[in-house]
Chain A
């Protein structure tokens, strides 16, 4: 008899545990709306009446957040019988005064549970970046677990939400941006990707940095230079154009490939140099209170195209000449960039401070507070050494 009771108890236990399965944290994948991109804008236009009525909002800046969602309905394979969905994504916008309340307001609009683990980009509008401290506006994204630190951060030159639109309905703009970012392997005009993980260190170390800038016009998205974020205020300071970015890449030595266009002195015809490798070394010098830097740039590459009719690439003299041309060109790029960052924006975005910290940690402790200020007056010299290794299949 007693034994029977034992069995009964055992089965009860199993019975009790069965309905628990699939409870708690489980959420089916098809019920999710994957957030793949988010844009943040400062709301300038008229605000919905409900928000205005609330007196507390009176003097506050309002945020407009646009989430790019992909749901099971918008994926191509989700729609049966070959009927393509109109758009591969769905953008949802909402306005409020902090990030999470805004996101929660979106619940009122969408039937899917939004899920941000697959968020790829966060785009911040120019106006927002220049009025609100990034530490504040991005706090939610740094704190929230669902946002992966591998996501990218971009600045949009006008309204950020436009960068999440595209003319081609089957493409997903957020993914396009990420894939475009990979282009930095082949050109120095795109910054190496700035992920949220990297951003964190920058935000807390009070150093200035660059963010990739994106412009969107009529559904066409384009990378255009970079935004300079001031380390102290954490606000947008200004923009560098693509040329400046090239110079910056030469200073930091971060580029993985790209071109340099020079002109032959005699004929004025263009010669194009393709970078195989670039290395740069920023050497700080401290002499008493006097700080100065030398940027030593070394590069190897090949002649990818040259329009000079008189010279042959197989001629070493020509190569020497070309090397000189490129060295000058690179130096010009670097000088241009430094001119802008040092004097126009007065921010160190190229990592000079880091080198000083590494080589003269004691000095750095003293001056790190006003480093950007100090940096704007520091003399910087530049040494460029270009080696042309080959000239492709044509010796001409």
Chain B
């Protein structure tokens, strides 16, 4: 697989990859996670600001990547800060990527076994999922991008559909007052909200895959790529809080599914709509899983300058074992938070540092 040299993606594909990467667990858990922190109906503002923080981080990442338009992060960071330090950072990023993919898989398994397949062992849920992902990834970034482009419109349409169907139990009073207790509670939620926007970091790799003529549009890619999930998240949060109220959201583990289960529309053929949400959600998790898995595999291949195939298969059991490590749902959520914090350092702080160093270096020469 000479994936890095041949495969190229278009601008729209890059956008869709970011969107699909960002949209994941957040759809189901963001309302609760952020309400727990904020405790006022201003959560949607926090989510909004979180998205903007992610945009800033994304733009920095893109600026960094644009310095080395034909190389991925794994290749160019050694140029900036030397071989060993670069190697170390690359290794951390790789670990981050496959850990997050393991996390997504486990969350998916938890929700599936809860809402769809009560009684099916977790391994039986996870293994086929991993294999389908593996099959896709063996086709390289192009296949991944195309698959994402297929599932994105499906997600988009179904999501808007179910969101607007839930308008029936929406109560605007649950969302008022706006900033009633000042801005402080709202600010508390920004960090949690930002963690839901993990995803722009993929631009560290994607810029290298974009067509040379499109590389200048990378900033736009990030902005659009974050704006759409931002809308999704804001709609989710507004709908969930509007229907279940702040107090109701806090006690639910998966508030968005709860929202879908809270109404029935007898006239429409389906009457119940959580299956739709679960369908698109599983697809989104699949998307996040595959892109992070691919990012990790690509990193390993480039780090060791070997073919991608042995890593593709070799990483599978590791992802599985990591996914099975958290003992219960609480552990899992804590695990997710830790990944988020790691991401803040890896993709919030390091790119800024690298950008500065490379600019300084560039000035000298």
Contacts and interface: CB of A to CB of B under 8 A. Distances in A.
A and B touch in their complex, CB below 8 angstroms? yes
Interface of A: 24-25, 142, 145, 148-150, 195-198, 200-205, 351, 354, 357-359, 361-362, 364-365
Contact of B248 (A150, A204, A354, A358): A204
What 6 pairs between A and B have smallest CB-CB spacing?
Answer: A361-B180, A201-B248, A201-B245, A197-B262, A204-B247, A205-B247
A361 B184 CA distance: 14
B264 A200 contact: no
Among B119, B124, B262, max chain A CB count under 10 A is at B262
Contacts of A24: 117, 119-121, 124
B261 A25 contact: no
Contact of A358 (B177, B246, B259): B177
Interface in B251-273: 251-252, 258-259, 261-264, 272
Contacts of B117: 24-25
A358 B180 contact: yes
A301 B115 CA distance: 46
Contacts of A358: 173, 176-177, 180
Given A150-B264, A197-B169, A204 B250 contact: yes
Interface of B: 40, 114-121, 124, 169, 173-174, 176-177, 180-181, 243-248, 250-252, 258-259, 261-264, 272
B114 A362 contact: no
Contacts of B115: 145
B261 A148 contact: yes
Contacts of A25: 116-120
Given A150-B261, A204-B248, A197 B243 contact: yes
A354 B263 contact: no
A362 B177 contact: no
B134 to A, nearest CB: 16
15 contacts: A24-B120, A25-B117, A25-B120, A142-B251, A145-B115, A150-B262, A150-B264, A197-B248, A197-B263, A198-B248, A200-B244, A202-B247, A203-B247, A204-B251, A358-B177
A294 to B, nearest CB: 17
Nearest to B116: A25
Contact of B258 (A197, A204, A361, A364): A197
Contacts of A359: 177
A150 B181 CA distance: 32
Contacts of B244: 197-198, 200-201
Nearest to A195: B262
Nearest to B177: A358
Given A197-B258, A204-B247, A358-B180, A351 B173 contact: yes
B84 to A, nearest CB: 45
Nearest to B251: A204
